[in-house]
Structure 1
């Protein structure tokens, strides 16, 4: 029986690499019965993922309308019976609520969950029966990566602690899983650390889903996050006049000019204030995370112990402020030439 897979994210769990893999091998996968549609179905420029159409469906795309998105998805559904597997991949599925505004507002649980469940119901009405697949990353790691991405692509001014409070709903994996499973029974979940432990998260993702990708080579990693110090700097610059894209370009250009020893110092940074705070944040989800077990596809997950470990790498630097090495490097660069 043909199956439709909705890969809903989450963000920062190798989604871009997985999507680029499907796009790169699109023709070969089609020969093997796997349909990874692109926007050429509706006469638009192909894209490696389906982010634009999912955003447009919620009125959050500057070039695509909700009507265009609905047309694209209808054409995809028309072709589902012609293939063994059809895959739609877009992490905004995990983020949106019904009638999403352009910018994410702050929600209380009482406000959020009715809107979230209504959005998922709309997706169910649109696609009918589908196999929903989600990848979860340990909350303490996910929070940092998500914050880096949020500051990178928006003009968000809040610090890390404010972000954790403002966007609490991203981290309650068990509640998100229950909401999706209620509309799409048989939710399937994976753990990011289990995927990466194999050395090839894309191949492991495909193996767990039974996709015929034997012999297909990996694609380069993509969508790397800005280093912590540059995220803090960008956040500070959000009070200026540059738009978010201009700022992002300037920061990426700056990163290329920084001395190697400064860049190396970025690699072991956390926005948390200390190891204790990071561990407390993670263990606060331990009981909820245990309820994810019935959804997990991993055949090597130990029956004992936490779903996500609460031990972290040694030697991390902590704090949500610019560090002296970057400040000195910025001063040196400013004396040499304008950034």
Structure 2
């Protein structure tokens, strides 16, 4: 049984691969392809968290509740145990392939020591291991990355000038190839511009007919640059990332993208030039790549990009953001008041256990307001007064 570890890269259809694998898990088993479930139902993030060094935690540690070196070690032992059982199951089914997919191998496994940890996880169970990645030009990757940063509410003007050159381990294809090829014997990197239907390519690799499986719906992840304008303003008023994401999802996720985020042709040219030497080395090491596979076609980029516009001052956008924040706060305050009424009713009926449950929910709703900067340029004093009044009322209730 051969192991294929699909490591991305990010923004090359990895989510579609994972949806396809997850949606067709049972059908793939029947076809001799075992899509791992112990490492994650959809994407196999546990494997990259396993491979991160304990003294270099990432957001995956938070996702799995890892707060110490000991907890990371316990997590790793559990991953190993679960994987061993799963591999045994795959072998009992006479599976031809065991498939693992996570773009976090690209973005989070950023040195050879971590790649060695990936090898340490899988080599006890597999003799035949292939690393698979799809590569796209850095300027295209950076342009897509800006949209990701907006979704994560991690958007700053300075990043347009330095993110693509500071984050070498993320953008340097040659450095990534060196990391993985130093540790693994079979490393296959493919040009994304020649394999844009990554699901179809992987289906061909594992020897299954794509028509026999459910095809995941295509999701257009492009964002309108005006989303960036709003996200930039939200950063000034709200500290809580979860609240900012909730606001964006609530109001904007389904809005049609009319003016997508683009970087300028001049910036794309700068990125090409910055990675030219590295890309030439990459092509020399991977002769099936030409420079046009890893260097952006400048004709695809507008002379004037929209990304820079995201940081322009706009009274209209500021006014809109204030309305959105106020509306969001009023909705949540109404929910808080409703929960408080439930507490009072439960106590009046002599049911303290229900009252306690309603109190827990009310506290979680009130906690949302901890992430709001009431002293920001948006006048949120009225909201602050309502929240404080609710907290005071709650303190008077004895359960």
- Per the normalisation by structure 1, the TM-score is 0.75
Aligned counterpart in structure 1 of residue 252 of structure 2, from 236, 250, 255: 255
Q: Give 1:257 shift.
A: 8.2
Corresponding residue for residue 99 of structure 2: 87
Judged with a 3 Å threshold, the aligned counterparts in structure 2 of structure 1 residues 314 and 10 are, in CA distance, closer, same or farther, namely closer
The structure in which a higher percent of residues are helix is 2
Aligned counterparts of 1:119 and 1:21: Cα–Cα separation in 2: 27
For structure 1, which segment, 320-329 or 88-97, has the greater mean C-alpha deviation from structure 2 after superposition?
Answer: 320-329
Aligned counterpart in structure 2 of residue 211 of structure 1, from 207, 212, 217: 207
Aligned counterparts of 2:314 and 2:22: Cα–Cα separation in 1: 38
- SS of residue paired to 2:131: strand
Q: Give 1:31 shift.
A: 0.6
Aligned counterpart in structure 2 of residue 73 of structure 1, from 74, 77, 83: 83
- CA displacement 1:46-69 (0-9 Å, x = unmatched): 621112443355353335333333
How many pairs were matched up? Answer: 302
Aligned counterparts of 1:257 and 1:327: Cα–Cα separation in 2: 24
Corresponding residue for residue 282 of structure 1: 272
Q: Give 1:225 shift.
A: 4.9
Aligned counterpart in structure 2 of residue 96 of structure 1, from 108, 113, 137: 108
Mark the runs of 5 or more structure 2 residues left unpaired by the alignment: 65-74, 329-399
Correspondence 1:120 to 2:115: yes
Correspondence 1:177 to 2:177: yes
Larger radius of gyration: 2
| Aligned 8 A contact 1:7 1:89 in 2 | yes
Aligned counterparts of 1:206 and 1:257: Cα–Cα separation in 2: 31
Aligned counterparts of 1:335 and 1:63: Cα–Cα separation in 2: 32
Mark the runs of 5 or more structure 1 residues left unpaired by the alignment: 98-114
Q: Give 1:8 shift.
A: 0.9
Judged with a 3 Å threshold, the aligned counterparts in structure 2 of structure 1 residues 304 and 10 are, in CA distance, closer, same or farther, namely closer
Correspondence 1:313 to 2:316: no
Corresponding residue for residue 221 of structure 1: 218
For structure 1, which segment, 165-174 or 230-239, has the greater mean C-alpha deviation from structure 2 after superposition?
Answer: 230-239
- CA displacement 1:136-159 (0-9 Å, x = unmatched): 121001012123213422646453
- CA displacement 1:100-150 (0-9 Å, x = unmatched): xxxxxxxxxxxxxxx711111111122124110111121001012123213
Corresponding residue for residue 42 of structure 2: 48
- SS of residue paired to 1:16: helix
Aligned counterparts of 2:20 and 2:247: Cα–Cα separation in 1: 29
- SS of residue paired to 1:224: coil
Aligned counterparts of 1:218 and 1:297: Cα–Cα separation in 2: 32
